[in-house]
Chain A
Amino acid sequence: MIQLENVSYTYRKGFGLANIDLTIDEGDFVFLIGPTGSGKTTLLSLLYMDILPDSGRVTIGDFNSDSIKKRKIPTLRRTIGMVSQNYYLLDDRNLFENVALPLHVIGHSQNEIAETVEAALEEVGLSGLEEHYPQELSGGEQQRACLARALIKDPDIILADEPTGNLDPVTSFDLIKLLEEINSEGTTVFMASHNYSLIKSRNHRIVEIHGGKLRSS
């Protein structure tokens, strides 16, 4: 479960979020919609505890921002798959190596890694492209590679920050369908977007954020 209780966060240079209350149940698919600069990325950063709230409390599963120790934050992040508009794929590593990275962090053996990477690439439809480098993949393929990297550690939650931001409408639609498939297997998906037309027909809960405050949830 994801829960934010009266959460506020202020950046040094200005306003961030104010008095956010939000609960997302296990297995839900929720869209976070709002214009650029409304606080979507800040909210997601609070969820994977890249930043901690100034006041209020963020709870993710067994972890909460009040009591979490700094050294436990990586453990929390291993339960979350993060997909972002910028991909953060490494140009000097091929697709296989990029997707395998989380398993190296956990400490899996080479055999386990080979099997799991193949399965994850198959799930996102990138089988056969293992040796390709990110610059040799299309935008849609890069975003799916990013998703494969998020999925490979079998996370409880997928946080997607504008994952369709750099994609054409058809590829964007395919990606949302893929996220829905993942959600149908029990993974909670929380996706931020500013493209209302893309998400309005998907029949999922929509949370709207504006000026650092939630308007509806």
Chain B
Amino acid sequence: MNKFLFLLSEGLKNLWRHKLTVFTAVFSVFLSLSTIGVLFIAEQNTHKLIEYMRSKYKIEVFFKDTVTNEQAGQAVEKIKMIQGVYTTTLIPKEEALKVYKSQFGDDITEFLDYNPLPASCVVNIKRKYDGYLQITPIIEQIRKIDGVDTVNHQGRLISRIEKFYEQGLLGLSGVAFAIILVTVMIISNTIKLTIYANKDLIKALRIIGATNTFIRMPFILEGVFQGIIGTILASGLLYGAVYGANEVLRQLTAFTINVQWLFLSWLFLIAMVISLFGSSRAISKFLK
């Protein structure tokens, strides 16, 4: 217990003793976590936007003239089973006639003596869908169903948006990974500099019989404390930025930035991993 308290206090005192290197490391953690946080918030809100757009996707399926309402109903049941389909609305021939009449004002059965409008169906796509929603396979499957005549859709546009979204996600993950890697290197090198500056301390500790764990611990704790400070600062900045941005957005639009603040605990975890890995890497190389 005495040893643990000593090592803990040494870790804390080191923050003051190595002010300059601590500042560099804290600033690196702060910058990287802030960037990762911004990327995460952007991802969350882009996802919301994509979900909204997906709710607007509509596929119109027209059945052949010969298809009865009952047969169309059976085909609609098959459409419902396709993966990625959220809802289906059957528009029977009579309903189509009513729509036509309400939109154009004419009753075409008066001229033709029969209803020429086919039964149709409106298909909505699932909003919650992990990653890239591929619309083409859905359309292909609908086309294969018996009785389907034509399928109207905004397939190309949807595909482009979805593909862009997927590539964006991949890009963001890559950027976040690169940032984490660079931060580990910065912290590792910063602590390596601190260790070089403390060669006498390490030499003194070795000759008086300190174990490698005892020598290592204050440096690792110093790294962890740097991570904690960096996370607190980054969390403060992100919270303040989102709060400020929402205040402005509320006055201009109905859209606000939504954040699941639980992600801060992920940031904290990332910071701990970065700091622990960075400091352990540096000290281990030195104590070999």
A residues contacting B by CB (< 8 A) are: 48, 50, 71, 74-78, 80, 82, 84, 86, 88-92, 101-102, 104-110, 149-150, 153
Taking a contact as CB atoms under 8 Å apart, the answer to whether A105 and B2 are in contact is: no
Task: Let me know if B99 is at the binding interface, CB within 8 A.
Answer: no
Stretch at the interface among B32-40, B81-89, B109-117, B203-211: B203-211
Q: Which of B200, B203, B208 is within 8 Å of A102, CB to CB? A: B208
CB–CB A82/B207 < 8 A: yes
Q: Which of chain A's residues have a CB closer than 8 A to the CB of B3?
A: 104-105, 107
Which residue of chain A lies nearest to B14 when distances are taken between CB atoms in the complex? A92
Give the nearest-CB partner of B17 in chain A: A92
Asked whether A77 lies within 8 Å of B2 as measured between CB atoms, the reply is: no
| Residue contact A77 to B200, C-beta cutoff 8 Å | no
CB distance from B9 to the nearest CB of A (A): 10
Decide: B208 and A101 in contact? CB cutoff 8 A: yes
Give Cα A19–Cα B205 distance, bound, in whole angstroms: 30
Contact A88 B204 (CB under 8 A): yes
Interchain CB contact under 8 A, A71 and B211: yes
Chain A residues within 8 Å of B211, by CB: 71, 74
Q: Count the B residues whose beta carbon is within 8 Å of the partner chain — how many?
A: 16
Of B6, B17, B203, B214, chain A has the most CB atoms within 10 Å of the CB of B6
Interface CB pairs A-B, < 8 A, 17: A74-B210, A74-B211, A75-B209, A76-B209, A77-B206, A78-B208, A80-B209, A88-B203, A88-B204, A101-B204, A101-B208, A102-B208, A102-B209, A105-B214, A106-B209, A110-B2, A150-B208
Contacts of A109 in B (CB 8 A): 2
Q: Which residue of A lies closest to B202 (CB)?
A: A88
Known contacts A105-B214, A107-B2, A109-B2; decide if A153 and B204 are in contact (CB<8 Å): no
Q: How far is the CA of A90 from the CA of B3 in the complex (A)?
A: 19
Q: In the complex the two chains form, is B201's CB within 8 Å of A90's CB? A: yes
Inter-chain CA distance A84–B207, complex, in Å, is 10
A202 to chain B, nearest CB (A): 25
Q: Is the interface of A mostly helix, strand, loop or mixed?
A: mixed
Q: Determine if B205 and A78 form an interchain contact, defined as CB atoms under 8 angstroms apart.
A: no
Looking at the assembled complex, report how far the CB atom of A173 sits from the nearest CB atom of chain B, in whole angstroms: 25
Report the Cα distance A106→B211, complex, angstroms.
10
Residues of B within 8 A of A105 (CB): 3, 205, 208-210, 214
B residues bordering A, Cβ < 8 Å? 2-3, 6, 17, 200-201, 203-211, 214
Contacts of A76 in B (CB 8 A): 209
Minimum distance in angstroms from A83 CB to a CB of chain B: 9
Please give the distance in Å from B216's CB to the nearest CB on chain A.
13
- Is the CB–CB distance between B200 and A149 below 8 Å? no
Contact across chains for B204 and A77 when beta carbons are under 8 A apart? no
A74 touching B201, Cβ below 8 Å: no
Q: CB-CB < 8 A to A86: which residues of B?
A: 200
- The docked-state distance in angstroms from the alpha carbon of A104 to that of B2 is 8
Partner of A50, one of B2, B17, B205, B206: B206
Whether the Cβ atoms of B2 and A108 lie closer than 8 Å is yes
Q: Indicate which residue in A48, A90, A150 contacts B200 across the interface (CB closer than 8 Å).
A: A90
A207 CA / B208 CA spacing, docked (Å): 25
Are A77 and B201 neighbours in the complex by a CB distance under 8 Å? no
How many whole Å from B252's CB to the nearest CB in chain A?
54
Most B C-beta atoms less than 10 A away, residue of A89, A90, A104: A104
Q: Which residues of A contact B2 (CB under 8 A)?
A: 104, 107-110
Given A104-B3, A104-B6, A107-B2, A90 and B204 contact (CB-CB distance below 8 Å): yes
**Complex: chain B residue closest to A101, CB-CB:** B208
Q: With A74-B210, A104-B2, A153-B208 given, can you name 16 additional A-B contacts, CB distance below 8 Å?
A: A48-B207, A71-B211, A74-B211, A75-B209, A77-B206, A77-B208, A78-B208, A82-B207, A86-B200, A88-B204, A90-B200, A101-B205, A104-B6, A105-B3, A105-B214, A109-B2
A82, B208: Cβ atoms closer than 8 Å? yes
In the assembled complex, the CB of B74 is this many whole angstroms from the nearest CB of chain A, namely 76
Q: Contacts of A88 on B, CB cut-off 8 Å? A: 200, 203-204, 207
Nearest-Cβ distance from residue A71 to partner chain B, whole angstroms = 7
Query: How far, in angstroms, from A107 to B203 measured CA to CA in the complex?
Result: 19
Nearest Cβ on chain A to B42's Cβ, whole angstroms: 44
| Docked complex Cα distance between A98 and B214 (Å) | 16
Whether the pair B6, A77 counts as a contact (CB closer than 8 A) is: no
A112 nearest CB across to chain B (Å) = 9
- Chain A residue at minimum C-beta to C-beta distance from B199: A88
Q: Are A78 and B209 in contact (CB under 8 A)?
A: yes
CB distance from A142 to the nearest CB of B (A): 13
Q: How far is the CB of B63 from chain A (nearest CB, A)?
A: 80
